[in-house]
Amino acid sequence: MNTNLFHTKEHANINLIADIGGTNIRLAQATAKFGTKTRDIDIHAIETYQCKEFPSLADVVAHYIAAKELNGLVINACFAIACPVDNDLISMTNLPWQFSQNELKQALNLHSLRFINDYTAIAMAIPLLSEQQKVKVGGGETIADKPISVCGPGTGLGVANLVPLTMSGNEQWHCISGEGGHIDFAPVNEIEQHVMNFIHGFKKRVSYEQLLSGYGLEQIYQALLFINHGKEITTIEDKLTAKDITTKALNATCAVCQQTLTLFCDVLGSFAGNLALIMNSQGGVYIAGGIVPRFVDYLKESDFRVRFETKGRLSSITKQAPTYVITEQQPGLLGAAACLL
């Protein structure tokens, strides 16, 4: 296929994609080249905007369309967004943005518009990842046409699964998304029981997201500071952010931070192993999100795989299932392009 066609206004159908978070929105365009067995996706004209600088989603998308001189062209769009997308009315969790999908399509004069959950997008990107866009962390070889699971500690704990389907002779991936990060946390040793009890002191319910997220790292640190030293966070010097905790742990300048990051990796291993059991994820369990790619070597040296594999009589399933960390910088855009194309 002549990719220049996509940049010729007289003939162009523009494939507009977006990854919309609570802080940033990334907009780009996508084209595809089809081979006999593979399809390569090219993502280009990427722009990142701060959401707080725009009063609405319509404003920022309209700004991008104008800046790229796309007005008057046939635009098909797929937007990945960090909130539920089941209803026409979308209200973002961490932004005062609320809009109708149908009205947005009309306001922007789009030929088509589809919204998908951000973790649906990340899951859809996985079959397209090259070896340079992921790092293997133990396990056997990936088995083709077997389910794939993904979880991602970040602002929260996202979860999604891919299952292979054959429709009309065509092999496709179907994404099953949900809110798996909110299932009940299950401690497996005494220190995790103490951490759960500490969090339970100010949370009515402790889910895995209460530990496997940015604020989860902070809560683990606060719990361990209290458990080890009987000390509560009372001063600004004691109150560390998730980034601070990770940095101090990697630099070996804070023993409690190291213990925090180690416990985080252990719990992540147990949770990811649970996903492998639920879906029989012999296609692999992938770790996404903005936290773990910062310390892949630390994860490898932790008990992440031990905890992933230790599942009693069915440990053979988890020992075979490979685990990966996604290092691709724009998996949301790649997944949105995959859904659109």
Phi, psi dihedral angles at 17 (to 5 degrees): -125, 155
Task: CATH number of the domain at 49, please.
Answer: 3.30.420.40
Least confident of 54-68, 195-209, 224-238, 264-278: 224-238
* Residue 90 marked ligand-binding: no
Determine contact, residues 171/200, Cβ cutoff 8 Å: no
Residue 85 lies in a domain: yes
Torsion of CA 212, 174, 36, 288, to 10 degrees: -10
- My answer on whether 112 and 143 are in the same domain is no
184-191 long-range contacts (CB < 8 A, ≥24 apart) are 184/208, 185/210, 185/211, 185/267, 186/270, 188/270, 188/307, 191/227, 191/263
* Residue 21 marked ligand-binding: yes
pLDDT of residue 292: 97
- The span from the CA of 75 to the CA of 62, in Å, is 12
Phi, psi dihedral angles at 245 (to 5 degrees): -60, -45
Please name which of 3, 17, 25 lies closest in space to residue 335, comparing C-alpha atoms. Answer: 17
Per-residue pLDDT reduced to its tens digit, 305-332: 999 999 999 999 999 999 999 999 899 9
Residue 195 lies in a domain: yes
Tell the residue number behind the tokens 């402790």, with chain if given: 206
Residue 127 lies in a domain: no
- My answer on whether 164 and 32 are in the same domain is no
- My answer on whether 195 and 237 are in the same domain is yes
3-11 long-range contacts (CB < 8 A, ≥24 apart) are 3/31, 3/33, 3/42, 6/31, 9/69, 9/72, 9/73
Task: CATH number of the domain at 274, please.
Answer: 3.40.367.20
Residues 6+ away with beta carbon under 8 Å from 232: 222, 225, 226
Token reading at 142: 């990936």
- My answer on whether 77 and 159 are in the same domain is no
Residue 329 lies in a domain: no
Residue 28 lies in a domain: yes
Per-residue pLDDT reduced to its tens digit, 178-193: 889 999 999 999 999 9
Domains in the chain, number? 2
The residue segments making up the domain with residue 242 are 139-321
- My answer on whether 241 and 193 are in the same domain is yes
Please name which of 163, 188, 157 lies closest in space to residue 309, comparing C-alpha atoms. Answer: 188
- The span from the CA of 15 to the CA of 173, in Å, is 20
* Residue 241 marked ligand-binding: no
- % pLDDT > 70, the chain: 93
pTM: 0.87
- My answer on whether 98 and 151 are in the same domain is no
* Residue 230 marked ligand-binding: no
* Residue 23 marked ligand-binding: yes
pLDDT of residue 235: 56
- My answer on whether 91 and 223 are in the same domain is no
Residue 341 lies in a domain: no
Residues 6+ away with beta carbon under 8 Å from 253: none
pLDDT bucket at 148, cuts 50 / 70 / 90: very high
pLDDT of residue 34: 60
Q: Which has more pLDDT, 80 or 234?
A: 80
Token reading at 289: 């999100």
- My answer on whether 143 and 261 are in the same domain is yes
Residue 75 lies in a domain: yes
Residue 35 has pLDDT above 90, yes or no: no
- My answer on whether 49 and 198 are in the same domain is no
pLDDT bucket at 5, cuts 50 / 70 / 90: very low
* Residue 287 marked ligand-binding: no
- My answer on whether 34 and 168 are in the same domain is no
Least confident of 36-40, 252-256, 264-268, 286-290: 36-40
- My answer on whether 112 and 166 are in the same domain is no
- My answer on whether 108 and 165 are in the same domain is no
Token reading at 253: 């300048």
